[in-house]
Structure 1
């Protein structure tokens, strides 16, 4: 059995964690691992910020079997919140396999039936070509990625998907960090942190024109996974980002593009009174779930037509209609 890690803190993540936990308990009742929610303390790199979740949300999560474990972010914190998922790996028991999930994830089916091979880590392929953006006169995709692999003593060529064209971004190992897994969180987390700090503090010439915020975690994650003998997930993991889990990103996008099964799972997870009385304090849940505006206003906007391949047009259309709520 494996542990699940997510990061929870004051604000949106606290409300999303209620939905994640409720959907896990409802739809994967036979999963017997530990659900560990790492909560950053208002110190270190989060000093001066309100990070603590409310007592009612804390009680509800605990009642559903979640373990809330504090940690101190020393390196990223408010300056780069995505770094939480890197530093939070330190709270997990070493030598026990783990699955990291962003809180904006729904569990739809039996997670314990997914045939993970934790000795071969992988991560979500539900991503777009967001990084890098090669400048007109170079370096190109290959030169940028090769510089990173060689910097950390990794074999670059073995990471390539040679079925893709030489100048296409999908040829190169790139993940969405919404989920990833591995065998040993202590070793995985230490390497993830060390290499992320190196790239942040000294990007090197090939990355001189590249934005690292907000992409740093997704730049370094492929390197870490490759270094542990992992890579792209195989077809046996298709249920992740499929009919077992859904990384919806935010509620407007969920209603716009996710399956009917995902919307049903969301609304069923949010239905119990003990959850409802907490989620109604979150404006997106109040309007889109409980007032029915997600089904009534957003869902019909995208019914009966192919969805755009990129997320940005969806966001723009929802914003134009006045329903972009995060």
Structure 2
């Protein structure tokens, strides 16, 4: 089945990541039949600075087969750039889509994954980041149920009964690094409307909860559940597996990701060096070889349980670059 891919680029780090994403897709899935859309927010009152990518990046992305998709930012902007992924959906052709965070490498053929676009899903590569339960409540169950009730959704059917009551993995909670559906228009309209509603009128159970930067990940499971989707099954294992690597930052890529991902990054480095040499992460980790030092600090078969512990080690060794 043909489908489109959506990612976001704007001036700075994301435009460099977009080049890596586009180059890795071309390398790992040269027969991909859909279109890679790189959505670019346009200047406006929601942005403090011009968010558009450079002409050099635009030319490189186009040469790599990507289509630049300008979109207007009306709800979010500088104060919540995570909202780009929500607002850009409205500009996609109304055909099946896969959203990928820009800090993703395509390491295998996406076109061979048997998606069921009628049943949306998203990445389970997440940690217990939201909600933060206060000593005197409300509980995590009460917090999530309040959101399902707000949008007239069945809460009980979203739960994973293999986990105990109030344990965070019992709830439908995703990393928004990838998600998909058959209609970006229908999915995007609901995603935007519900995110705005939660931001403007959160249930009282959320009074002590931080909405930023978690708003997209708070809203996403509600939208997926509303369209009859849920947790990804084994058919989607290549995502966050053999077909994609959501690396977050290049120091984290070297610290914890597979040999395959590192080999792909370094294999693309020579052809991309003129376009990425101004990117601090790429310069230090790849060109100056500090990624090798970062990789030597960790045993990939026995990594720390929490990402923050990896970050702390990298910072202590002077190998953390944003």
TM class by shorter chain equals over 0.9
Corresponding residue of 1:69? 69
Find the counterpart in structure 1 of residue 25 from structure 2.
24
Does 1:307 find its partner at 2:310? no
Q: Structure 2 matches for 1:152-301, cutoff 5 A?
A: 152-272=151-271, 275-295=272-292, 297-301=293-297
SS at match of 2:5: strand
Local SS of the residue matching 1:38? strand
1:80 aligns with 2:76: no
Asked if structure 2 preserves the Cα contact closer than 8 Å seen for 1:44 and 1:72, the reply is no
Matches of 1:199 and 1:319 in 2, distance apart? 35
Within 5 Å, give how 1:84-95 maps onto structure 2. Answer: 84-94=84-94
CA contact (8 A) 2:256 2:300 kept: no
1:45 alignment counterpart? 46
d(CA) in 1 for partners of 2:109, 2:301: 31
Which digits, 9 at most, give the CA deviation of each residue in 1:75-107, with x for residues without a partner?
11001010110001011012x000000010000
TM value normalised by structure 1: 0.97
Give 1:305 shift.
6.2
- Alignment CA distance shift 1:257-1:283 (3 Å): same
1:227-273, Cα deviation, whole Å (9 max, x unpaired): 0000000011011000110000000000000000010111122221x
C-alpha displacement at 1:306, in angstroms? Answer: 1.1
Partner of 2:319: 323
Gaps of 5+ in 2: none
Q: TM-score, normalized by length of structure 2?
A: 0.98
Residue number in structure 2 paired with 1:9: 10
Match of 1:113 in 2: 112
- Note the aligned Cα RMSD (angstroms): 0.9
Instruction: Give the Cα–Cα distance (whole angstroms) in 1 for the partners of residues 218 and 228 of structure 2.
Output: 17
Deviation at 1:304, TM superposition (A): 6.7
Unaligned runs of 5+ in 1: none
Distance 1:204 1:159 in 2: 19
